[in-house]
């Protein structure tokens, strides 16, 4: 049975396996408030996946010359370039091999 933390309006905002300061209320498994929180988390994950798909589609359209980055609104250009830069930095940070293949 999970312990929950509520915000000032009484909404469940976090779920914990153990009780602690600010989260000592126990709710039974399958409680509707837990299901609602889990559903919101699932949609957030699906949204993140869809964003990645849209980025990939935009990249393909640009690569094929069907779209120019400058065809997009400035805010969209800025967001796409920021995410592309963040992904590149993440990829570089995860490269555990040195240039000569030695760890």
Q: Quick one: pLDDT at residue 92?
A: 74
Task: Write down the pLDDT at residue 74.
Answer: 95
CA 101 vs CA 5, 17, 81, 85, 95: distances in Å: 47, 42, 30, 25, 10
Q: What is the pLDDT of residue 15?
A: 82
What is the pLDDT, as a whole number, of residue 102?
Answer: 57
pLDDT at residue number 17? 83
What is the rounded distance in angstroms from the CA atom of residue 34 to the CA atom of residue 99?
48
Listed in sequence order, the residues at least 6 apart from 37 whose beta carbon sits closer than 8 Å to its beta carbon are 12, 13, 15
Nearest to 82 by CA among 74, 92, 48, 63: 74
Q: Looking up tokens 């602690």, which residue turns up?
A: 20
pLDDT at position 41, please?
Answer: 64
Report pTM: 0.51
Query: In tens digits, what is the pLDDT along the chain, a chain of 103 residues?
Result: 788 888 899 888 888 888 888 888 888 877 888 877 766 667 777 788 888 899 999 999 999 999 999 999 999 999 999 988 888 887 776 656 656 655 5
pLDDT of amino acid 29: 78
CB 27 within 8 A of CB 34: yes
């Amino acid at each position: 049975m999970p312990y929950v933390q509520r915000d000032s309006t009484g909404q469940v905002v976090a779920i914990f396996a153990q009780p602690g300061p600010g989260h000592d209320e126990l709710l039974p498994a399958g409680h509707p408030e837990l299901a609602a929180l889990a559903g919101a988390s699932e949609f957030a994950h699906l949204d993140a996946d869809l964003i990645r798909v849209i980025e990939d589609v935009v990249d393909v359209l640009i690569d094929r010359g069907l779209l120019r980055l400058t065809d997009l609104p400035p805010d969209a250009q800025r967001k796409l370039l920021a995410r592309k830069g963040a992904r590149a930095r993440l990829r570089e940070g995860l490269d555990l091999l040195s240039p000569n293949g030695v760890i």
